[in-house]
């Protein structure tokens, strides 16, 4: 039975061009900065994000952790959304390893933070308080329906940060989804960020890796932090080669994933027992609710699994479905049929 895997865009397999590039990549010791393929990926990434430098790291979590540890010292505070991946899904790594304090404020349904909430959360100089150092944003926003932040919003947050002497980090795991969805270069969305991390191994389909982009001195410091947490890799050009293909060949096609997500959302809206507002689906992430009291997300996911459709059940009443390179428009029709069938029992 063919499997339609909507659990995440992290499940994407490397393309034939990636495998070829990996096999042929010239490599060297990247801790000595002698891997030409890693160096090329870092240059290309910096250029795409409009920054002076970039650093290849193992994962999105490592990109966010290294960025937080580079911006902040022990006892410093980061303002971030209560639905953000950094707060929700990264084990509180910056607290565990760096003694950094997270100050959460509510994420709005579109993934933004209210500007007033950001302002109000910034600590005055007071011996009792931690020092606010960083504002962390997420673009696109995973837990907020894949919603995106636009350049005008970024400028408004940038104004606050400059006025109050703070830095901005963007968890841009899916920044190219945000860019394609808005028809703007990723660099425009990154312009206000002191650091931005993005993932190669989600919608861009590379097997491993993320990049942190920023100013040259920030990236030099981040390189030290990456090393101390054991993230210095050696002949990593094997991995970086796939990342170069990802940036050159896999960005524009993200529009197909967005169209498929919208198609899925519109189909789900017509199914009794489910609730979703398709107009809120802005990129490749689709959250929908089960409105039937007799069915949990886990039970629905089990029924769909039996039909070859994999989705991500989320407590208490939600399911997440993510479109990607390996899900076609026809697969969306098949998945909708399976969901209809599973709900008709
Ligand atoms: N997200 C994963 C899970 O962890 C939830 C997924 O399936 O979506 N930032 C954002 C916005 C992310 O969505 C993720 C991964 C990360 C960072 C972490 O990336 P990795 O998994 O490479 O450490």
pLDDT tens-digit series, residues 124-171? 999 999 999 999 999 999 999 999 999 999 999 999 999 999 999 999
Phi, psi of 126 (to 5 degrees): -155, 135
Of 39, 17, 16, 18, which is closest to residue 242 (Cα–Cα)?
Answer: 18
79-94: pLDDT as tens digits: 999 999 999 999 999 9
Compute the CA torsion angle 8, 107, 155, 257 (nearest 10 deg): 20
Alpha-carbon separation of residue 12 from 5, 143, 219, 232 (angstroms): 9, 20, 29, 25
Over residues 206-216, the mean pLDDT reads: 98
Distance 7 CA to ligand 1 centre (A): 12
Under the banding of pLDDT at 50, 70 and 90, the label for residue 219 is very high
Distance 245 CA to ligand 1 centre (A): 21
Q: CA 245 to CA 21: how far, in whole Å? A: 8
Distance 86 CA to ligand 1 centre (A): 9
Pocket of ligand 1 (CB under 6 A): 8, 10, 59-61, 85, 89, 138, 142, 171, 173, 199, 210
Ligand 1 atom closest to Cα of residue 140:
11
Under the banding of pLDDT at 50, 70 and 90, the label for residue 1 is confident
3-state DSSP: the chain helix, strand, coil percent, rounded to 5?
Answer: 45, 20, 35
Ligand 1 atom closest to Cα of residue 89:
4
Under the banding of pLDDT at 50, 70 and 90, the label for residue 29 is very high
Whether the Cβ atoms of residue 172 and residue 166 lie closer than 8 Å to each other: no
Give the global pTM: 0.98
Alpha-carbon separation of residue 166 from 5, 18, 111, 128, 171 (angstroms): 41, 39, 20, 19, 16
Q: pLDDT over 90 for what percent of the chain?
A: 98
Distance 234 CA to ligand 1 centre (A): 24
Ligand 1 atom closest to Cα of residue 210:
22
Distance 336 CA to ligand 1 centre (A): 25
Ligand 1 atom closest to Cα of residue 174:
11
Neighbours of 344 (CB within 10 A): 9
Provide the angle, in degrees to the nearest 10, between the axes of the packed helices 329-343 and 297-306.
Answer: 120
The single residue listed with the structure tokens 């005008």 is 152
Sign of torsion, CA 303 305 309 312? positive
Whether the Cβ atoms of residue 188 and residue 151 lie closer than 8 Å to each other: yes
Whether the Cβ atoms of residue 286 and residue 322 lie closer than 8 Å to each other: yes
Instruction: Pull the structure tokens for residue 121.
Output: 């959360």
- At 128 the pLDDT is 97
Q: Which residues pair with 322 in a beta bridge?
A: 285
Mutate to test the pocket of ligand 1, among 89, 239, 246, 283 (most ligand atoms within 8 A of CB): 89
Over residues 267-288, the mean pLDDT reads: 96
Mean predicted lDDT score pLDDT of the chain: 97
Q: What is the DSSP letter of 10?
A: G
- At 345 the pLDDT is 77
Q: CA 67 to CA 2: how far, in whole Å? A: 40
Over residues 270-297, the mean pLDDT reads: 95
DSSP 3-state assignment of 121?
Answer: helix
Q: State the Rg of the chain over Cα.
A: 20
Ligand 1 atom closest to Cα of residue 64:
17
Ligand 1 atom closest to Cα of residue 201:
22
Q: CA 241 to CA 43: how far, in whole Å? A: 13
Q: Which residue CA neighbors atom 16 of ligand 1 most closely?
A: 60
101 pLDDT more than 90: yes
The separation between the first and the last C-alpha atoms of the chain, rounded to the nearest angstrom, is 21
Q: Which residue CA neighbors atom 18 of ligand 1 most closely?
A: 60
Whether the Cβ atoms of residue 245 and residue 21 lie closer than 8 Å to each other: yes
Instruction: Pull the structure tokens for residue 238.
Output: 């094997």
Burial class of residue 217 (count of CB atoms within 10 Å of its CB; 0-12, 13-18, 19+)? exposed
H helix and E strand count, the chain? 14, 13
113 pLDDT more than 90: yes
């Amino acid at each position: 039975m063919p499997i339609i895997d909507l659990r995440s865009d992290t499940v994407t397999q490397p393309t034939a061009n990636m495998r070829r590039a990996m096999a042929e990549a010239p490599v060297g010791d990247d801790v000595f900065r002698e891997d030409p393929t890693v160096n090329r990926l870092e240059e290309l990434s910096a250029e795409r994000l409009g920054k002076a430098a970039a650093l290849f790291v193992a994962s999105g979590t490592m990109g966010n952790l290294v960025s937080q540890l580079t911006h902040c010292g022990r006892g410093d505070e980061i303002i971030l959304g209560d639905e953000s991946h950094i707060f929700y899904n990264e084990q509180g790594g910056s607290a565990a390893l760096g003694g950094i304090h997270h100050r959460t404020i509510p994420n709005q349904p579109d993934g933004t933070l209210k500007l007033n909430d950001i302002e109000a959360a910034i600590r005055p100089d007071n011996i009792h308080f931690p020092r606010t150092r960083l504002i962390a944003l997420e673009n696109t926003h995973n837990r907020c329906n894949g919603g995106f932040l636009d350049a005008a919003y970024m400028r408004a947050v940038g104004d606050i940060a400059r006025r109050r002497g703070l830095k901005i980090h963007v968890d841009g795991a899916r920044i190219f989804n945000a860019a394609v969805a808005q028809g703007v270069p990723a660099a425009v969305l990154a312009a206000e960020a002191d650091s931005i991390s993005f993932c190669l191994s989600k919608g861009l389909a590379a097997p491993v890796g993320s990049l942190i982009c920023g100013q040259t001195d920030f990236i030099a410091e981040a390189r030290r932090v990456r090393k101390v947490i054991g993230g210095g890799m050696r002949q990593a050009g094997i991995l970086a080669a796939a990342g170069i293909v990802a940036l050159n060949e896999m960005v524009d096609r993200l529009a197909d994933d967005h169209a498929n997500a919208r198609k899925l959302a519109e189909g789900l809206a017509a199914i009794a027992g489910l609730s979703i507002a398709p107009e809120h689906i802005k990129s490749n992430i689709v959250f929908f609710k089960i409105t039937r009291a007799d069915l949990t997300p886990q039970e629905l996911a089990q029924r769909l699994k039996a039909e070859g459709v994999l989705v991500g059940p989320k407590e208490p009443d939600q399911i997440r479905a993510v479109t990607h390179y390996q899900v076609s428009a026809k697969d969306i029709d098949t998945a909708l049929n399976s969901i209809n069938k599973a709900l008709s029992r």
